[in-house]
């Protein structure tokens, strides 16, 4: 089992297409382009790569996709547990990759 965590200040992210897949961009649009949503998804991606221990570059951010189930819970893929939370000031994510 591997653990990753990340926290992001709520801020304007530029060049969203560099960080997110089209499915993620559609989800952000459904959430009225909420900065909290953007920061939460970004934190989730960072937490995932920290759990893998591979590091992160702008090129790797789109290699994974944060999806949401029918209840709205975020997920990446099987054998990965993901939780995202935010306030008005910060967003955080915890990711556990099960071996």
Q: Is the predicted pLDDT of residue 58 greater than 90, yes or no?
A: no
Of these residues, 15, 45, 50, 62, which one is catalytic?
Answer: 50
Closest CA to 93 of 1, 2, 6: 6
List pLDDT tens digits, range 73-94: 999 988 999 999 999 999 999 9
In the residue annotation, 68 being an active-site residue is answered as no
List pLDDT tens digits, range 59-74: 789 999 999 999 999 9
CATH code for the domain of 52: 3.90.470.20
In this predicted structure, what is the pLDDT of residue 33?
96
Q: Which residue has the tokens 């960080």?
A: 19
Of these residues, 2, 17, 31, 86, which one is catalytic?
Answer: 86
In the residue annotation, 62 being an active-site residue is answered as no
CA distance 60 to 19: 8
Q: Indicate the pLDDT class of residue 57, thresholds 50, 70 and 90.
A: confident
Q: Judging by beta carbons within 10 Å of its beta carbon (0-12, 13-18, 19+), is residue 97 exposed, middle or buried?
A: buried
Q: Indicate the pLDDT class of residue 5, thresholds 50, 70 and 90.
A: very high
Domain span including residue 84: 2-97
Overall number of domains in the chain: 1
């Amino acid at each position: 089992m591997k653990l990753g965590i990340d926290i992001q200040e709520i801020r304007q992210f530029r060049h969203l297409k560099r960080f997110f897949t089209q499915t993620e961009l559609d989800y952000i649009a459904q959430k009225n382009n909420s900065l909290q949503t953007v920061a939460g998804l970004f934190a989730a991606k960072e937490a995932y790569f920290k759990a893998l221990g591979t590091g992160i570059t702008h090129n790797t951010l789109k290699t994974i996709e944060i999806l949401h189930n029918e209840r709205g819970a975020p997920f990446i893929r099987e054998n990965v547990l993901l939780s995202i939370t935010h306030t008005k000031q910060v967003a955080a994510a915890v990711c556990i990759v099960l071996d």
